[in-house]
Structure 1
Amino acid sequence: PLGHETHYAYDAAGRLVRKTDPEGRTLRFAYDAAGRLTSRRCPDGTNATFAYDGTGRLVHAENAAIAYDF
């Protein structure tokens, strides 16, 4: 349906928020107020989340299969 194009969408701050491949599968990204990636949703509905401490360091990453604390 979309041909051979991959489409990208960005928010007002220039961060990638959506990527749609030629088959129409969409990968979505969300960010916090500081611009750090907080979630990634895959086309199959799985989600990965990310958390940061007060200094901006990644302290937690999680998806359906595993969680990491740093």
Structure 2
Amino acid sequence: QTDAAGRTTEYSPDVVTGLTTPDGRASAFYYNHHNQLTSATGPDGLELRREYDESGRLIQETAPDGDITRYRYDNPHSDLP
């Protein structure tokens, strides 16, 4: 799908998988089988990564600069860290 500004967006069922600007700069998005974002690569080639626990909660995010944020959940049934 291309919008009025010339940006092309690619979809897989229910999720955005790619975005390309009119000048050809592309970003890609990858998901697990639960449609949770696992990585995103920007036009500069830098990657954001996310990891989830068996309950589907975000447990770690690695920024493109390598900084790591870890999430801990006090309540095993809570979605809030």
Category of TM-score, reference length = shorter chain: 0.7 to 0.9
Q: Whose relative contact order is higher, 1 or 2, with alpha carbons under 8 Å and at least 6 apart? A: 1
Partner of 1:10: 11
The one-letter amino acid of 1:61's match is: E
More strand by share: 1
1:25 Cα deviation after fit: 0.5
Structure 1 Cα separation of the partners of residues 69 and 16 of structure 2? 24
Aligned residues: 66
Partner of 2:78: none
Structure 1 Cα separation of the partners of residues 23 and 62 of structure 2? 27
TM-score, L = length of structure 2: 0.76
Structure 1 Cα separation of the partners of residues 30 and 46 of structure 2? 14
Partner of 1:30: 30
TM-score, L = length of structure 1: 0.87
Identity of aligned residues (%): 27
Q: Which runs of 5+ in 2 are unaligned?
A: 72-81
